[in-house]
């Protein structure tokens, strides 16, 4: 069994418990051990691109360092993934930033991006393998048209995230095929849902999330899947659409026959 360090992040402990629970149970069934580091901190939710904001990078660096000796760091939430991956990318290329962080944290040696970071979808693609996953599916999503919603955080900036083609991605569609569903390609799949603007501008959040749901539905989707708690919130609560929205891990667990077990 391969062992990875697993970073859930703040929201998976509270409002997105499903995203977390199904990720854990599915990993176990697929022969992957996920070990949570002790005393992890919130990633901050958004990456600060400013060159002179080292303090905003510290919690991500702590998380990255906690995984230095494992096979890699696994994230599920798109926002955590984005922050941690961008931090890792920048600190591996910016010696001055690495030194500042070293001084802040009182490290013996600077951390310079040694940890490999996997989003859970990358774990499925690159470690488990979609063909292997397919062979373990007990309840395929036969005849289900599923729209993959990438949003912004999984793919961009592609230099740092390096998950997939930022304009024509396929990782979530390949996941949908592996669990027996039919992927639906639609224009808004990598456009923003409105994100945190829901806090102060419901109208804009509605406009953005409705555009995504409309676009997916117009291409014949039965449901939409996401990896991001804030996307799920916007698509469900602000879009005005009644098309079902699920975390991709929920469909994964269901396909692996684990959903009923988790609910018992």
Q: What angle do CA 164, 165, 166 make, to 5 degrees?
A: 100
Exposure string for 66-86, b = 16+ CB within 10 A, e = fewer: bbeebbbbbbbbbbbbbbbbb
Q: Does residue 233 interact with other proteins by CB under 8 A?
A: yes
As a whole number of angstroms, the distance between CA 75 and CA 84 comes to 9
Angle at which helices 95-105 and 78-93 cross, to 10°: 110
Exposure string for 21-39, b = 16+ CB within 10 A, e = fewer: bbbbbbbebbebebeebee
Query: Is-contact 39 252, C-beta < 8 A?
Result: no
Binding-site string for other proteins from residue 100 to residue 139, where x marks contact by CB under 8 A and - marks none: ----------------------------------------
Candidate residues 2, 48, 116, 217; the one interacting with other proteins per rule CB under 8 A: 48
**Can you name the residues that pair with 35 across neighbouring β-strands?**
5
Q: Does residue 158 interact with other proteins by CB under 8 A?
A: yes
What is the nearest approach in angstroms of other proteins to the Cβ of residue 258? Answer: 24
As a whole number of angstroms, the distance between CA 112 and CA 95 comes to 8
What is the nearest approach in angstroms of other proteins to the Cβ of residue 173? Answer: 19
Of 26-34, 103-111, 136-144, 233-241, which part binds other proteins (CB under 8 A)? 233-241
Q: Does residue 85 interact with other proteins by CB under 8 A?
A: no
Q: Does residue 50 interact with other proteins by CB under 8 A?
A: yes
Token digits for 27? 């990993």
What is the nearest approach in angstroms of other proteins to the Cβ of residue 43? Answer: 8
What is the nearest approach in angstroms of other proteins to the Cβ of residue 194? Answer: 7
Binding-site string for other proteins from residue 193 to residue 232, where x marks contact by CB under 8 A and - marks none: -xxxxxxxx--x--xx-------------------xxx-x
Residues within window 2-31 making contact with other proteins, judged by CB under 8 A:
9-11, 14-16
Query: Is-contact 80 23, C-beta < 8 A?
Result: no
Q: Does residue 166 interact with other proteins by CB under 8 A?
A: yes
Chain contacts with other proteins (rule: CB under 8 A): 9-11, 14-16, 42, 44-53, 56, 77, 79, 151-153, 155-158, 166-167, 191-192, 194-201, 204, 207-208, 228-230, 232-233, 236-237
């Amino acid at each position: 069994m391969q062992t990875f360090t697993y970073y859930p992040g703040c929201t998976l402990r509270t409002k997105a418990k499903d995203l977390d629970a199904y990720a854990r149970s599915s990993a176990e069934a697929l022969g992957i051990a996920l070990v949570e580091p002790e005393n992890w901190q919130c990633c901050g939710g958004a990456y600060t691109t400013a060159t002179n904001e080292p303090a905003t990078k510290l919690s991500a660096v702590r998380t990255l360092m906690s995984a230095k000796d494992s096979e890699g760091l696994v994230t599920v939430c798109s926002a955590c993934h984005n922050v941690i991956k961008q931090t890792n990318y920048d600190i591996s290329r910016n010696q001055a930033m690495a030194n500042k962080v070293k001084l802040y944290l009182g490290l013996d040696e600077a951390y310079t991006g040694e940890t490999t970071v996997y989003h859970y979808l990358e774990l499925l693609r690159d470690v488990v393998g979609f063909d292997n996953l397919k062979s373990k599916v007990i309840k395929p999503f036969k005849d289900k048209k599923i729209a993959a919603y990438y949003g912004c955080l999984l793919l961009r900036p592609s230099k740092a995230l390096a998950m997939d083609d930022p304009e024509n991605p396929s990782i979530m569609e390949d996941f949908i095929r592996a669990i027996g569903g039919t992927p639906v390609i639609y224009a808004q799949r990598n456009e923003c849902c409105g994100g945190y603007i829901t806090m102060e501008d419901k109208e804009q959040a509605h406009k953005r999330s409705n555009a995504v749901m409309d676009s997916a539905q117009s291409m014949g989707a039965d449901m939409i899947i996401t990896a991001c708690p804030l996307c799920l919130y916007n698509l469900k609560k602000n879009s005005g659409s009644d098309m079902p929205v699920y975390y991709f891990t929920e469909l994964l667990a269901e396909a692996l026959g684990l959903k009923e077990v988790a609910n018992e």
